Structure 1
Amino acid sequence: MAMPYFTNNGVPKSQIEAIQTVPPFQVTDPREVRLISVAETIGSGIFTGCLNIVLYYNKAMEKDSGWLVAGWIKESLGRALREQPMLSGRLGRGENGRGELEIVSNDSGVRLVEAKISVTLREFLDLKEKEKAEAELVTNFQCGGYSIGISCSLLLADLLIMDNFLLKWANIQKDMLSKNDEVKLPLFYLPNLKTASLAANRTFSPASIERCGQTMIFRITGENVDLKNESSKKLALLCMEEAEQKLGNKIISSEFSFLMKESPTVMQVENFKKIERVNSHLMSDQVMITSSSLKDYLEINEIAFTEGNKPAQVSYWAGAVNDGLAVAIPSSNEGVSELNFIITFPIEKGI
């Protein structure tokens, strides 16, 4: 049995076995474009910020393993990206690099990392420094358990959450497996593909793994819900105050990053200063507010990539956001006055 190697923080070190790129299953035509409208005072940090979700699974059966799941994921993820190609796009400037910032579904693909670690899943989940350990990109544990994680830019987090991409992806994977009962191994099964040169440890620096804090989802409905920019900021503040009460946090920071999805093709990004508290009682009388954790909203505890094998544990966090974060997403239903907010509070700063 191999002894685990530990980092300076006492966290087991994983070994990266493979790094691949998964493009959409078919060429995206026509390409989708999302304009990122940026205020002059915005910092660059928001462009590296990501929403991270990790699901941990016990070994469900004798033939189950992270290597098998990852092999099928190479195909199922490509099929899922065909339905949401913007998630595999890239941020850049239009008009030959001289125009405004935009995200284009250019089929560049997403990075797929396979790794292993010499501890069991239970030992890993019981670590005191588990939050730091999750940055180690583990996909295979010594016991046969495994994890599946996804990291999505905050500029596209609405697609991951509101479109429930994880659930759709998992359903595609299960459907594929149900039709391939006679195929024992996937085409991209790493243990069969690996050569001696691949055994050496690789270095890979994932972006935005540093935890930002707690995240909640709010839905605001009512005849008086104004979707204009300034009104949506006040509603964002209202959600922050609601989250402050529910999470027991004290709002200290006076600034937060505000992202407003003006339309499917435009995302407004700016810094917003919190000067004073909103009149919560007055606004609460005019609108209806419902809230939930991201885990409950997405029903992450129910997501199974193999039939009947639900997660043993889930983790989620926003990374690389210096202050608070508010993402405003209008309802996609015509004629419905509704705003959804993703609210994140930094761990120590308290907004």
Structure 2
Amino acid sequence: MAKSSMADLIVEGVNTTTVPGKVTDPRLSYKVSILKGAFDTNHGVLQTRMHMVVCYKKLHADDGDSGWYVGGWIKETLGKALEEDPILAGRLVTCEDGGLEIVSNDSGVRIVEARIPLSLVEFLESKEKDQIKTELVSWKDVDESNPQFSPLYYIQVTNFQCGGYSLGISCNLLLADPFRMVKFLNRWAEIHKNIAYEGEIPRTPLFYAPNFAKRVGCPPPSSIAAASNPSWTNSKTAIFDISIDEKLNSRDEICNHVVSVCIEEADDKFGLKMGPNFVLITKKPNGDAKVEKRSKEGSFGPLKSLKYEINSSNWEDLEANKITFRRDNLPIEVSHWVARNDLEGVVLVVISSPWEGKCGMKVYVTFPRANGLY
């Protein structure tokens, strides 16, 4: 079976940025509170992200059913979608008090177009599939000193030999949780199809990478970096939906107890054990995030009087398998994984707005994999 390495990936278009179609006014902002003293640096925290690879067959003989066309068209429709969710085109900025916040400053989403010397079938059947997947998504670490210059959302369109292509998504978890990210992608695909099939974008996209490559040549492969340590593609993530019979407000002990229960459930589900320390990211209904390092042992006390319902979920429930930019071409495979620059576990808690005296939470518990061992 054919092998692939970063030297094999050929980038046709890099550092293209798509911004919302209109100026965001008023600007939105999310506060990011990183617990002081919990981390030596913010570096690992700022790099926590989700990657997703969505693969499509080539169903039609015409060139319009190729990644090059999709890659060109999405640059014309993504801006429309970002008008509805402009924070995804924002950046981390340093506040006057030294804290951080994510601001919808219309700096844009980074788009990369590439090709790889493998057929789609070879990729799907390869024993090195996990290694190859890291080449199908792009990520450049957030600059800790000047985070305002670092994108938090990347999109990579990769063309396979003999047709077929993949859409690789990388999104900082401080920006959006996986469920919200997939919801945006499905909405964007809907906008894209409406515009494309109403003839509002040309048959051949204005931003058609092969035309530019013929004129200026391809950038060297070193212009794009591997998105993450391949061991993270084997990480395990358990997803839980929780309904609680009282408002959470600032009652951290309720959140802590639910996290403890979810970790135990995830341990049982995968037969794994969370390491002694893990990173806890809590996102409030207004988008603000708090990041802290926690110890699994002795951190959370029981709350016997708390009434809640917990249901296990999975990646498939996110409905990423419905993301399609052509009406008749559904994904044939979708991969998801959470990644960091270290090998500590990650727990993401997303609190929804209260309703009828209840509060909902979605909890993602990720176990990293290092050297084949959890």
Q: TM-score range by the shorter chain?
A: 0.7 to 0.9
Mapped partners of 2:373, 2:295: distance in 1: 15
Counterparts of 1:54-93 in structure 2, within 5 Å, are: 54-63=53-62, 64-93=65-94
8 Å CA contact retained: 2:279, 2:344: yes
Paired position in structure 2 for 1:241: 264
Mapped partners of 1:226, 1:182: distance in 2: 46
Amino acid at match of 1:243: A
Which moved further from structure 2: 141-150 or 38-47?
Answer: 38-47
Query: How many residues matched?
Result: 340
- Per the TM alignment, residue 182 of structure 1 is displaced from its structure 2 partner at its CA by 8.6
Residue 177 (structure 1) aligned with residue 196 (structure 2): yes
Paired position in structure 2 for 1:262: 284
- Per the TM alignment, residue 160 of structure 1 is displaced from its structure 2 partner at its CA by 5.5
Q: Deviations over 1:23-79 (max 9, x none)?
A: 111111111111111111333201111101110000021221000111111122221
TM-score (norm 1): 0.88
Which moved further from structure 2: 135-144 or 221-230?
Answer: 221-230
Counterparts of 1:10-89 in structure 2, within 5 Å, are: 13-19=8-14, 20-43=16-39, 44=42, 45-63=44-62, 64-89=65-90
Paired position in structure 2 for 1:289: 310
Which moved further from structure 2: 56-65 or 261-270?
Answer: 261-270
Q: Secondary structure at the match of 2:284?
A: strand
Question: How high is the sequence identity, in percent, across the aligned residues?
Answer: 38
Mapped partners of 1:99, 1:281: distance in 2: 35
Mapped partners of 2:353, 2:291: distance in 1: 20
Paired position in structure 1 for 2:360: 338
Q: Deviations over 1:81-125 (max 9, x none)?
A: 111111111112023xx5311111111111100000121001011
Residue 164 (structure 1) aligned with residue 149 (structure 2): no
Paired position in structure 2 for 1:302: 322
Residue 327 (structure 1) aligned with residue 348 (structure 2): yes
Please provide the CA RMSD for this pair.
Answer: 2.7
Mapped partners of 2:124, 2:7: distance in 1: 12
Mapped partners of 2:17, 2:3: distance in 1: 27
Paired position in structure 2 for 1:118: 117
8 Å CA contact retained: 2:179, 2:318: no
Paired position in structure 2 for 1:230: 253
Unaligned runs of 5+ in 1: none
TM-score (norm 2): 0.83
8 Å CA contact retained: 2:236, 2:368: yes
- Per the TM alignment, residue 157 of structure 1 is displaced from its structure 2 partner at its CA by 2.6
Paired position in structure 2 for 1:250: 273
Structure 1 residues 173 and 279: CA distance shift in structure 2, 3 A = same
- Per the TM alignment, residue 208 of structure 1 is displaced from its structure 2 partner at its CA by 4.1
Unaligned runs of 5+ in 2: 137-156
Mapped partners of 1:222, 1:112: distance in 2: 40
Amino acid at match of 2:78: L
Q: Secondary structure at the match of 2:188?
A: helix
Paired position in structure 1 for 2:147: none
- Per the TM alignment, residue 192 of structure 1 is displaced from its structure 2 partner at its CA by 2.5
Mapped partners of 1:193, 1:214: distance in 2: 40
Mapped partners of 1:299, 1:326: distance in 2: 21
Residue 145 (structure 1) aligned with residue 164 (structure 2): yes
Structure 1 residues 229 and 35: CA distance shift in structure 2, 3 A = same
Counterparts of 1:270-281 in structure 2, within 5 Å, are: 270-276=292-298
- Per the TM alignment, residue 133 of structure 1 is displaced from its structure 2 partner at its CA by 0.7
Mapped partners of 2:193, 2:347: distance in 1: 34
Structure 1 residues 42 and 205: CA distance shift in structure 2, 3 A = farther
Mapped partners of 2:355, 2:181: distance in 1: 16
Structure 1 residues 50 and 265: CA distance shift in structure 2, 3 A = closer
